[in-house]
């Protein structure tokens, strides 16, 4: 399938600063429809160039009745395509189309609510979460202001206790506003409501599927690279691994991967990377054993941010040294994914805040005369994993817990040393293997061990020992923005502690971190 086909139907998501805007996009993609997120103050030319099949307006933290609050671009309102306003998006529609939004006179509505479906609406018809005679939907609200009166040609189709106008519809123009958030799992029928809007109201074909994405990416890579050579820094992580498999399918032996083993990987990970890619998939991988070099560079460095910079800068230095040896290479592949692009993009007018800068976004160093190819640039992480499975990569590798870019360098508190890294590798492996053995690994979002450079008194047989401390960390989270410590069984933690202390002579004590995020972070550094 060609690139034109896979992008033929597309939803434009306007971001008003809501915390769940990316979740809206993921739900649309789950319907098999391509979408992009753009800031509310995007240029009219961007709207014209994008040519959306439909528009979704996100929620946001502002108040539409305050001066200077974000507004819907007139070019969007002038489009003759379906539109769905969510929370702030609905209130912005009302405010700009002649209705009235007012500050909430009573209690604001945050959290679970029951919405009474009070009229016919193609988004709600036939849906009901109530066992009684009333048609009601379990929804998730998050708003302070509320709609007081509707714009002309819109009808009331939903009410709640604190929002007398909780949903509105203009069926003729195929435009809708809902005060609740359909993208979150707390809204029971939310996925179905978005599916109806995208597939039925907007009449999108649903061609955005893993198989089509792969075919599209392979065709584009072949067309771009031609008979030239391409270089990829392979880390063994999900993104670079999927890029390697994808480009290998596209250009075969024209791809060379450089795997920099900095000595801060998990137990046996370097050998596993080589076995998977070089031996099983037949991809040309150059392994650079640079552990001694990294340890020398990290000697005496204790500040977490300084360690990250040392590791990042030296990684680039080693990679560039290897790249210079490969004559005839004209392309550099990167594992940039769509959230990297979103988080690194400032507003088109400069009025939106830049969230963060990402190492994969923003071009190449000037001294590297290579062209850039980013096959995953349009994909979310869950989409990357799904196409990785289709490309033949093992699910066990694709669905591993997140691992920091600097590796164990930020899980060893203080100075990084080779002996500390080996102790941590062994402890971490015991923890992970026991999580898998007890069917707990997939029930937590992230789990790992941390090395503490302090010693504690212990007892072995009749002897006294004075050795290091290891902390265990396991969290449950949906978005990694907030997290709570996983409630692992005490008997399980006891088994992990005993196994670590009995198997690793240098560890005398194991602790379990019960801190939530916030106030703590998930990683210790």
Portion of the chain with pLDDT greater than 90, in percent:
78
Assess whether pLDDT exceeds 90 at residue 368. Answer: no
**Residues 375 and 245 reside in one and the same domain:** yes
Tally of structural domains, the chain: 3
Q: For the chain, what percent of residues have pLDDT higher than 70? A: 92
Cα(51)–Cα(74) distance, integer angstroms: 15
Judge if 348 and 446 occupy the same domain.
no
Would residue 334 count as lying in a domain? yes
Whether pLDDT at 350 is above 60: no
Establish if 322 belongs to a structural domain: yes
Q: What is the pLDDT of residue 279?
A: 85
Q: Is 181 a catalytic residue?
A: yes
Looking at 35, 36, 38, 87, which residue is catalytic? 87
**Residue with structure tokens 């069917």?**
439
* Over residues 283-309, mean pLDDT: 96
Q: Per-residue b/e over 55-68, b at no fewer than 16 CB within 10 Å?
A: bbbbbbebebeeee
The predicted pLDDT at position 51 comes to 95
Looking at the fold, whether 299 and 422 belong to one and the same domain comes out as no
Q: 108-122, 286-300, 391-405: which has the minimum mean pLDDT?
A: 108-122
pLDDT band at 432 (very low <50, low <70, confident <90, very high): very high
Q: Are both 312 and 458 inside the same structural domain?
A: no
Q: Which residue is catalytic, options 181, 248, 378, 383?
A: 181
- pLDDT over threshold 90, residue 143: no
Task: Output the CA torsion sign for 310, 313, 316, 317.
Answer: negative
What pLDDT, on a 0 to 100 scale, did the predictor assign at position 365?
A: 58
491 and 472 in a common domain:
yes
Give long-range contacts, CB 8 A cutoff, 24+ apart: 275-281: 276/241, 276/393, 276/394, 276/397, 277/234, 277/241, 277/244, 281/244, 281/245, 281/248, 281/392
- Asked if 166 and 220 sit in the same domain, the reply is no
Q: What is the pLDDT of residue 106?
A: 58
Q: Compute the average pLDDT of residues 497-522.
A: 95
Q: What is the CATH classification number for the domain harbouring 95?
A: 3.40.50.880
Q: Decide if 183 is catalytic.
A: yes
Same domain, 193 and 61: yes
Q: What is the pLDDT of residue 340?
A: 85
Classify residue 409: in a domain, yes or no: no
Q: Residue 411: inside a domain, yes or no?
A: no
CATH of the domain at 483: 3.30.300.10
Residue 503, domain extent: 417-512
pLDDT band, very low/low/confident/very high, at 351 (cuts 50, 70, 90): very low
* pLDDT at res. 111: 77
243 with 138, same domain: the answer is no
pLDDT at 119: 84
**Which tens digits make up the pLDDT trace of 465-487?**
789 999 999 999 877 778 899 99
Choosing from 183, 378, 383, 426, the catalytic residue is 183
Q: Is the pLDDT of residue 355 over 60?
A: no
- Tell me, what's the pLDDT at 1? 40
Cβ proximity of 221 and 373 under 8 Å: yes
pTM of the predicted protein model: 0.86
Give 79-90 pLDDT, tens digit per residue: 999 999 999 999
- In this model, does residue 2 exceed pLDDT 80? no
- Predicted pLDDT of residue 357: 33
Residue 405 lies in a domain: no
Q: What is residue 461's predicted lDDT score, i.e. its pLDDT?
A: 59
> 């602790």: which residue's tokens?
511
Give per-residue pLDDT as tens, 167-212.
999 999 999 999 999 999 889 999 999 999 999 999 999 999 999 9
- Is residue 297 over pLDDT 50? yes
- Among 465, 472, 469, 466, smallest CA distance to 454 is for 469
Task: Looking at the structure, tell me whether residues 130 and 279 fall in a common domain.
Answer: no
Q: Where does 179-283 show beta strands of DSSP type E?
A: 229-233, 255-261
For the segment 304-310, the average pLDDT, to the nearest whole number, is 95
Task: Over range 445-474, report the average pLDDT.
Answer: 87
């Amino acid at each position: 399938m060609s690139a034109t086909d896979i992008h033929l139907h597309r939803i434009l998501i306007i971001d008003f600063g809501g915390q769940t805007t990316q979740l809206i996009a993921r739900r649309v993609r789950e319907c098999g429809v391509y979408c992009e997120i753009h800031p509310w103050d995007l240029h009219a030319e961007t709207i014209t160039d994008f040519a959306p099949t439909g528009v979704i307006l996100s929620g946001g933290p502002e108040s539409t009745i305050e001066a200077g609050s974000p507004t819907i671009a007139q070019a969007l309102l002038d489009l003759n395509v379906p539109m769905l306003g969510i929370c702030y998006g609905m209130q912005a529609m009302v405010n700009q189309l002649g209705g009235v939004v007012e500050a909430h006179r009573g209690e604001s509505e945050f959290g679970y609510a029951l919405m009474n479906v009070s009229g016919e609406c193609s988004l709600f018809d036939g849906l009901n979460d109530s066992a009684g005679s009333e048609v009601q939907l379990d929804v998730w609200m998050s708003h302070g202001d509320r709609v007081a009166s509707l714009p002309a040609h819109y009808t009331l189709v939903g009410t709640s206790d604190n929002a007398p106008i909780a949903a509105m519809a203009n069926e003729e123009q195929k435009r809708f506003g809902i005060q609740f958030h359909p993208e979150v799992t707390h809204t029971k029928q939310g996925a179905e409501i978005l599916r109806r809007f995208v597939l039925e109201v907007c009449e999108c074909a649903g061609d955005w599927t893993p198989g089509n994405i792969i075919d599209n990416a392979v065709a584009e890579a072949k067309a771009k690279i031609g008979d030239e050579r391409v270089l990829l820094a392979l880390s063994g992580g999900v993104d670079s691994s999927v890029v390697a498999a994808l480009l290998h399918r596209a250009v075969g032996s024209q791809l060379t991967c450089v795997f920099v083993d900095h000595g801060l990987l998990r137990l046996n990970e370097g050998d596993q990377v080589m076995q998977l890619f070089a031996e099983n998939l037949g991809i040309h991988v150059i392994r650079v054993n640079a552990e001694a070099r990294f340890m020398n560079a990290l000697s005496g460095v204790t500040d977490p941010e300084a360690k990250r910079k040392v590791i990042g800068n030296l990684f680039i230095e080693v990679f560039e040294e290897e790249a210079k040896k490969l004559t005839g290479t004209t392309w550099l592949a990167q594992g940039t994914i769509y959230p990297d692009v979103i988080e690194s993009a400032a507003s088109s007018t400069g009025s939106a805040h830049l969230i963060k800068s990402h190492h994969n976004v923003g071009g190449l160093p000037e001294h590297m005369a290579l062209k850039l190819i980013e096959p995953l640039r349009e994909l979310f992480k869950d989409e990357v994993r799904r196409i990785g499975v289709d490309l033949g990569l093992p699910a066990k590798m694709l669905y591993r817990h997140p691992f920091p870019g600097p590796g164990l360098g930020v899980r060893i508190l203080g100075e990084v040393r080779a002996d500390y890294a080996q102790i941590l590798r062994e402890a971490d492996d015991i923890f992970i293997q026991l999580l898998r053995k007890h069917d707990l690994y997939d029930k937590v979002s992230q789990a790992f061990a941390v090395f503490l450079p302090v010693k504690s008194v212990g007892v072995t047989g009749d002897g006294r020992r004075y050795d290091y401390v290891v902390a265990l960390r396991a969290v449950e989270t949906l978005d990694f923005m907030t997290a709570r410590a996983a409630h692992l069984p005490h008997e399980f933690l006891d088994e992990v502690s005993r196994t670590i202390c009995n198997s690793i002579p240098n560890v005398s004590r194991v602790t379990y971190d019960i801190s939530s995020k916030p106030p703590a972070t998930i990683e210790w550094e």
